[in-house]
Chain A
Amino acid sequence: MLGEAWSLSPSVALRPEPFGALAYHFGNRRLTFLKRPQLVDVVRDLEQHRDVAAALDAAGVAEDQRPAYVAALRDLARADMIRPRQEATR
């Protein structure tokens, strides 16, 4: 996943909260809690980065934290909160 380009799903809204953010998917009506401000930064800015690794670096995620963040991103992908980005269409 680290080398892939991803972005927030178009039907997802992020609501900032003291602990991080709520992510709500208007399509499947799922509510997910992003428990770290850094994870919120990563998810929100995925689109602006070449790939996931770049997004993690930009948010200042330490190397040893990467596996945990990738696992969290995979969970978000399963709930359609984030989607692979089609570079060709950009």
Chain B
Amino acid sequence: MTLMETAARPEGGTLLEQFELGLDAPICLTWELTYSCNLSCAHCLSSSGRRDPRELTTEQCEAVIDELQRMQVFYVNIGGGEPTMRPDFWHLVEYAVAHQVGVKFSTNGVRITPERARWLASTDYVDVQISLDGATAEVNDRVRGPGSYATAINALRHLANEGFRDAKISVVCTRENIDQLDEFKAIADTYGATLRLTRLRPSGRGADVWDDLHPLPHQQRQLFDWLVAHGEDVLTGDSFFHLAGFGEKLPGLNLCGAGRVVCLIDPVGDVYACPFAIHDNFLAGNVLADGGFAKVWQESALFQDLRAPQTGGACSGCAHYDACRGGCMAAKFFTGLPLDGPDPECVEGYGESALAGPRSIPAASQDHSRDAPGRNAPVLLTLSRRDGVDAPPVSACAESPLAGFVPA
């Protein structure tokens, strides 16, 4: 590997400092296999729904796996869309495992039948992650759509019944489910699964609902305390390093790995800096057009740039900068905040004041949402009435001389 031939790379230092300078291959790669999805979650990171006709063919996917094997990428996180919608999905899982690339795949559970669960239980190196965004059907189905809670729980039950051990339950933490953390843990314990909590990102359709769904400041504290109390028992995918300013360090690397230790391959082979940054600004190249994944990872100008030393910008004077490193690049970008300023959910509150100021939210550069909402699409509306309205509005045609008169 010749990645660092031009860079005068310092020796020693902490592992974190080394990671910030990038690796020869990613540690953890997310690969979204399709934009097709049976659900239409309100906060979908990749604005999934419809398949893209340019999606990689089976042979092209196998070539990517061959390359990952050569690069010694030891495992990939496969997602989508709903990856199991691809007719060749199970074949690709088997192909990856046979080529020393372990697989963890994220699913809403729709294809996890008892037979499939039995097959999964019989394989090594395959890990299953079921998405669940509410510990009750009421909370979950509001954002993920009617019936999605039952689908996820059924999948967990099939896995447990067929002897699959230690499935993951992946929860996106929102304003509406922060109070359910103990209940999520109880569900995980019931099915012999491990709980994984991640951050709500304003990416994809998440941009449309982030203002209403992202945890409130006191909930961030509640979440942080819960995470500290549960330590290594709960996975976070290093999601919450922006909360490190609260004090104690959470388990994990606590660094933005974008283009340094992680990246995303999307269904058409585009390589983005991270799973939460599907936007032209973070597009490093394409595995088909730019000479393969290794070349994109090692040589793209964008990734070289992300691996260059960063300055704290507006945050450099903050006492917590060493802990949170300015937070999440994608969260800043998609809320229209400067990349060298505070995270929108900065624990010091600098994000809130930045959000209140002038900003322009970037337009999406891809959208695979369905054209028309499906039968099971979530509708994030609540029926209510305005305060202080105690009579019907007065029509312009009202003839009564007392129309609109309210006795004092």
- In the bound complex, CA of A15 to CA of B124 (Å): 21
Contact (Cβ within 8 A) A18 B23: yes
Does chain A have a CB within 8 A of B375?
no
Contact (Cβ within 8 A) A31 B15: no
Does chain A have a CB within 8 A of B102?
yes
**Which of A15, A22, A26 has a CB less than 8 Å from the CB of B125?**
A26
**CB closest residue in chain B, given A36:** B12
Residues of chain B with a CB closer than 8 A to A31's CB: 27, 74
Contact (Cβ within 8 A) B72 A15: yes
- In the bound complex, CA of A22 to CA of B27 (Å): 9
Q: How many residues of chain A get a CB closer than 8 Å to chain B's CBs?
A: 13
Contact (Cβ within 8 A) B24 A19: no
Contact (Cβ within 8 A) B18 A15: no
Residues of chain A with a CB closer than 8 A to B127's CB: 29
Which A20-57 residues sit within 8 Å CB-CB of chain B?
22, 24, 26, 29, 31, 33, 35
Contact (Cβ within 8 A) B125 A35: no
Contact (Cβ within 8 A) B100 A17: no
**Which of B3, B11, B15, B102 has a CB less than 8 Å from the CB of A26?**
B102
Residues of chain B with a CB closer than 8 A to A22's CB: 23, 27, 72, 74
Residues of chain B with a CB closer than 8 A to A33's CB: 15
Interface positions of B (Cβ within 8 A of A): 1, 3-4, 9, 11, 15, 18, 21, 23-25, 27, 72, 74-75, 100, 102, 124-125, 127
Central interface residue in B18, B21, B74, by most chain A CB within 10 Å: B74
Central interface residue in A16, A19, A22, by most chain B CB within 10 Å: A19
Main secondary structure of the interface of B (DSSP, over half): loop
Q: Rank and list the top 5 A-B pairs by shortest CB-CB distance, nearest first.
A: A19-B18, A15-B72, A24-B74, A18-B4, A17-B23
**Which of A13, A17, A26, A35 has a CB less than 8 Å from the CB of B24?**
A17
Residues of chain A with a CB closer than 8 A to B27's CB: 22, 31
**CB closest residue in chain A, given B14:** A35
Q: How far is the CB of B127 from chain A (nearest CB, A)?
A: 8
Central interface residue in A13, A29, A31, by most chain B CB within 10 Å: A29
Contact (Cβ within 8 A) A16 B74: no
Contact (Cβ within 8 A) B75 A35: no
Residues of chain A with a CB closer than 8 A to B125's CB: 26, 29
Interface positions of A (Cβ within 8 A of B): 13, 15-19, 22, 24, 26, 29, 31, 33, 35
- In the bound complex, CA of A16 to CA of B3 (Å): 12
Residues of chain A with a CB closer than 8 A to B124's CB: 26
**CB closest residue in chain B, given A15:** B72
Contact (Cβ within 8 A) A15 B15: no
- In the bound complex, CA of A29 to CA of B127 (Å): 11
- In the bound complex, CA of A26 to CA of B75 (Å): 10
Contact (Cβ within 8 A) A29 B15: no
- In the bound complex, CA of A13 to CA of B99 (Å): 13
Contact (Cβ within 8 A) B9 A29: no
- In the bound complex, CA of A29 to CA of B18 (Å): 22
**CB closest residue in chain A, given B17:** A19
Complex A-B: 26 CB contacts under 8 Å: A13-B74, A13-B100, A15-B74, A16-B1, A17-B18, A17-B23, A17-B24, A18-B3, A18-B18, A18-B21, A18-B24, A19-B11, A22-B23, A22-B27, A22-B72, A22-B74, A24-B72, A24-B74, A26-B74, A26-B102, A26-B124, A29-B75, A29-B127, A31-B74, A33-B15, A35-B18
**CB closest residue in chain B, given A20:** B18
- In the bound complex, CA of A24 to CA of B127 (Å): 16
Residues of chain A with a CB closer than 8 A to B11's CB: 19
**Which of B9, B72, B74, B75 has a CB less than 8 Å from the CB of A18?**
B9
Q: How far is the CB of A59 from chain B (nearest CB, A)?
A: 16
Residues of chain A with a CB closer than 8 A to B3's CB: 18
- In the bound complex, CA of A22 to CA of B25 (Å): 10
